[in-house]
Amino acid sequence: MAVLPILRWPAPRLSQVCEKIGTIDAEITRLAEDMLETMYAAPGRGLAAPQVGLLRRIFVMDIGWKDGAPAPMVLINPEIQWHSDNVETGDEGCLSIPGVTAGVARPAEVRMCWTDLSGKAVIETLPGFAARCAQHELDHLDGLVTFDRVPPEQRAALEAAYSP
């Protein structure tokens, strides 16, 4: 396993749509392991492939490891099947935009489907911070960062305060 360098916004690869993954081969398994190691080392609770420069639809997350035992998740080709009408605004940081916290409005609950590292199809309803984290990481696979999820005035202020 290896800790990979994390791209910082405005690296162009953070604004591109990632490609679906076909076969989960040794390369993808290695990538997932490296991404988890990179996320824990950062330290962070989520990391998407474009953040380490690979334009593939995979992200890792572990929302609770800072407070308890690690529970790593690897989500391949994730999609949102359903989201609640209830929207909540919460603070989000991003390993690719260090030092910036943005208040982002998102559905409070989502049902997401994905393929895990063993190739099994998974469907889970994610509440609370898990929903927020998963939506943030899924955004990365579509070339979106927190700056793209806030109103223009707020974006301008956040960008002004950010130094890569």
Q: Is 18 in the site for Ni ion (CB under 5 A)?
A: no
CA–CA dist 110, 115 (Å, integer): 16
CB atoms within 10 A of CB 142: 14
With CB under 5 A as the rule, give the number of residues binding Ni ion: 1
Q: How far is the CB of 48 from Ni ion (least distance, A)?
A: 7
Of 33, 88, 92, 137, which residue is the catalytic one?
137
Asked if residue 94 binds Ni ion (CB under 5 A), the reply is: yes
The pairing of strands 87-92 and 46-48 is: unpaired
The least CB distance from residue 157 to Ni ion, in Å, is 19
DSSP 8-state assignment for residue 112: E
- The yes-or-no answer on residue 137 being catalytic is yes
Question: Min. distance of Cβ 88 from Ni ion in angstroms?
Answer: 18
CA distance 147 to 73: 25
Binding site for Ni ion (CB under 5 A): 94
